[in-house]
Amino acid sequence: MAKPTGAARAVIVAAILCLTAGEATAAGDVGLDKKITSALTTLLKVAGAAKPVNLLVVIRPDTHSEPDRKLLLQVILEQTTTCATKTGLAVISAPDLQAKLVALRTAIRPADVVNLQHGASQAFDAILWGTLSRSRDTRSLRLTLVNSSRVLAQTGVVIDKASLTGLLPDEPSEAEIDQGTDDIAATLDAGLRLSLPAALAAHVGKVGVRVETIEGSSKYDQLTDIVRDRLPTMLRAQPYAGPITWDSSSGTQHSLRDWEADSGQRAQFGFDAVLIVACGDDEGRPAVKCSLETAHKTLWKATIPMDAWDLAVIPSTTELNAKIVKFAEDHLGQQVGDGECWTLANEALIASGGKPADGFVLGRELEPDEPPLPGDIMQFKSVVLQDGFSTIYLGEPDHTAIIEQVLGPQVYGVLEQNSGGRKTVAANRLDMTKMKSGTYKIFRPLPQHHG
């Protein structure tokens, strides 16, 4: 990068520290480089005659943010360097100052500028202090320009996903997915702890749990999966435990589908109360809506907003499902175990870190209106598909297959073995709209640690 010349040349020492951010879906059509360039131009203009010559730039999270996201850290660093060049500034690194700045946990003050100037290997006469904070759907970068005597100027930059178009890879890393999942779980736990324990004090003993996706919110199915996976562990911990027994089993989830419809017969469900957890859209934003209900009244209701940035990094197909598909694809044309259809599914579950099959129960049975995903497992009982002169038999009486692709409503590309007289793994197409007899279930694989 060529250095600008002339009397107005400034030196920027970029000490980019722990950043916090994620990927999100939000409105906006201005790139990050334009936003940062505009902000820098504004700050320098407001500074006027006090415009610095040598500038130290620090960008860090506020004290309430989650741990840094290293990928976005790199992006902000690169964009800051590019934007500084556009405004006639030059960027150099200053590793000798970074260690000192990491320890500074408060907002920047003129006195800090004086302290940092002493002993600095490279001279600077002002600091550009950027604080990156988190809101529901965006990250906000607050920029403060301060010298040794006063705060010269302040401005802000809103960072949404549209701002980062082309700057981040299409696929989030495994670490980012894990972080997003953990953040979602932590947000849910914090929302529940806020008031649910008080509602449970009403002599509630046995509580049934139902987790569902709000009708018309199918794009939040991955949020529902995370809640289904993490909620049982949360509820077994204090302050929800003690004398309360929680039942979030697949059978209970299935039976409680009629809880609202049978309001006059709720006592027959056998629970002192039922916790309904619905994931979906709340005025255009992701949220989890909770309700603790007895047979006669509602004890507690809450809407827990979720951060769209966290949700955006979660794949539509779970990581476990993706591993199951990959296991089956890697064994195409090969025999897995004894060559039985069930063995392929069970070995895929075990190899992928899933909960092994319990007989022909291969995870959580999907609700009738719940959309299947690649990696879900189909279990057939004496199924016959008839399409014109073609007949396909699935199960004598049982057969198992892994969904590789969802090709349309009730139409699937599957990976299976012990089909068509072959003991090796093969890919086939099944159109369940052509089913003439028999039954089938679809299971969502569960992680090994799932209760």
Percent of the chain with pLDDT over 70: 79
Does the pLDDT of residue 26 top 80, yes or no? no
Does the pLDDT of residue 101 top 60, yes or no? yes
116 vs 291 pLDDT, higher one: 291
Q: If you average pLDDT over every residue of the chain, what do you get?
A: 79
How far is residue 50's CA from residue 45's CA, in Å, rounded to a whole number?
10
Query: In the structure encoding, which two tokens stand for residue 62, read together?
Result: 């506020």
Specify the 3-state DSSP secondary structure of 338: coil
At 182, the pLDDT band (50, 70, 90 cuts) reads confident
At 21, the pLDDT band (50, 70, 90 cuts) reads very low
Closest CA to 56 of 156, 142, 148: 148
Long-range Cβ pairs for the range 108-117 (8 Å, 24+): 108/58, 108/144, 108/146, 109/146, 110/146, 110/147, 110/148, 110/149, 110/150, 110/151, 113/146, 113/147, 113/148, 114/148, 116/56, 117/148
Residue 171 CB-density burial (10 A; 0-12 exposed, 13-18 middle, 19+ buried): exposed
Does the pLDDT of residue 1 top 60, yes or no? no
Closest CA to 104 of 81, 142, 139, 131: 131
Task: Tally Cβ neighbours within 10 Å of residue 345.
Answer: 31
Which domains are present in the chain?
A: 10-164 (3.40.50.10610), 174-312 (3.40.50), 319-444 (3.90.1720.60)
pLDDT digits (tens, 9 = 90+) for 249-281: 877 877 787 776 656 666 667 888 889 999 988
User: Roughly what angle, to the nearest 10 degrees, separates helices 110-117 and 95-102?
Assistant: 140
pLDDT digits (tens, 9 = 90+) for 109-133: 888 888 888 877 778 888 888 777 7
The reply to whether omega before 397 is within 30° of 0 (cis) is yes
